[in-house]
C-alpha cells in the first residue's frame, strides 16, 4: 500500500513537471527605462545636470568644504574671484551661504594642482520665469 502511494506521488509529480516544461512561454519582455529609473530624471533639472551637489560643512573666503557629495567623503572646493554665486535664481555672494545648506557647484579642475575650483555656486530654489501672454 505504501509503495503504491509513493509511486502515485512520484508519477503525479513527474506529470506536473512535464506539463510545466511544455507550457507555452511568453516572448514579451517587461518594459524597462533606458535610464534604469522610473521616468527621466534629467528632464526636471537639465541645466544642473553636470553640477555636483553637496551640503556645506565648512566655509571660508578661499574654499568650501562639502559633505554628502557623490564622492562619499568630504570634498574641498577652492573659490576664486571668478566664482559666481546664485541664490534663488538671483546673483548672490559667499556671505549669504550658511553651513548645512545644500548647494550645487559647477566645478573645474586645476590641471597643475588637481584642486577642484568652483566656477558657479547655486543655492536656494531656481524658479523659472513664466512666459508672458500677449494681450
Which CATH number does the domain housing residue 55 bear?
2.40.50.140
Enclosing domain of residue 60? 50-123
55 lies in some domain: yes
CA distance 25 to 59: 61
Sign of the Cα pseudo-torsion (82, 77, 110, 42, in order): negative
Say if residue 126's pLDDT is above 70. no
CA distance 20 to 14: 10
1 lies in some domain: no
CA distance 121 to 86: 6
81 lies in some domain: yes
CA distance 23 to 35: 34
Domain tally, the chain: 1
109 lies in some domain: yes
15 lies in some domain: no
**Chain-wide mean pLDDT for the chain?**
77
110 lies in some domain: yes
Cell of 41: 530624471
Beta strand 116-123 with 75-78: parallel, antiparallel or unpaired? parallel
What pLDDT score was predicted for residue 58? 92
Q: What H or E segment, with its residue span, contains residue 52?
A: strand 52-60
Segment among 20-29, 67-76, 109-118 with least mean pLDDT: 20-29
DSSP 101: -
pLDDT per residue as tens digits for the range 9-51: 887 787 766 666 655 666 666 666 555 555 455 555 667 778 8
10 lies in some domain: no
Output 15 or 74, whichever has higher pLDDT: 74
Look at residue 118 and give its three-state secondary structure.
strand
2, 8, 13, 14, 18 from 5: Cα distances, Å: 5, 5, 12, 14, 20
| Backbone Cα Rg of the chain | 29
129 lies in some domain: no
Amino acid at each position: 500500500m505504501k509503495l503504491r502511494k509513493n509511486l502515485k506521488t512520484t508519477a503525479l509529480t513527474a506529470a506536473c513537471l512535464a506539463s510545466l516544461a511544455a507550457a507555452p512561454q511568453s516572448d514579451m519582455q517587461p518594459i524597462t527605462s533606458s535610464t534604469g529609473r522610473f521616468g527621466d530624471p534629467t528632464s526636471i533639472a537639465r541645466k544642473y545636470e553636470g553640477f555636483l551637489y553637496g551640503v556645506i560643512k565648512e566655509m571660508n573666503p578661499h574654499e568650501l568644504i562639502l559633505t554628502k557629495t557623490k564622492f562619499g567623503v568630504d570634498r574641498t572646493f577652492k573659490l576664486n574671484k571668478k566664482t559666481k554665486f546664485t541664490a534663488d535664481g538671483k546673483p548672490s555672494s559667499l556671505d549669504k551661504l550658511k553651513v548645512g545648506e545644500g548647494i550645487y557647484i559647477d566645478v573645474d579642475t586645476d590641471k597643475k594642482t588637481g584642486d577642484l575650483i568652483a566656477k558657479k555656486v547655486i543655492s536656494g530654489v531656481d524658479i523659472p520665469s513664466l512666459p508672458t501672454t500677449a494681450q
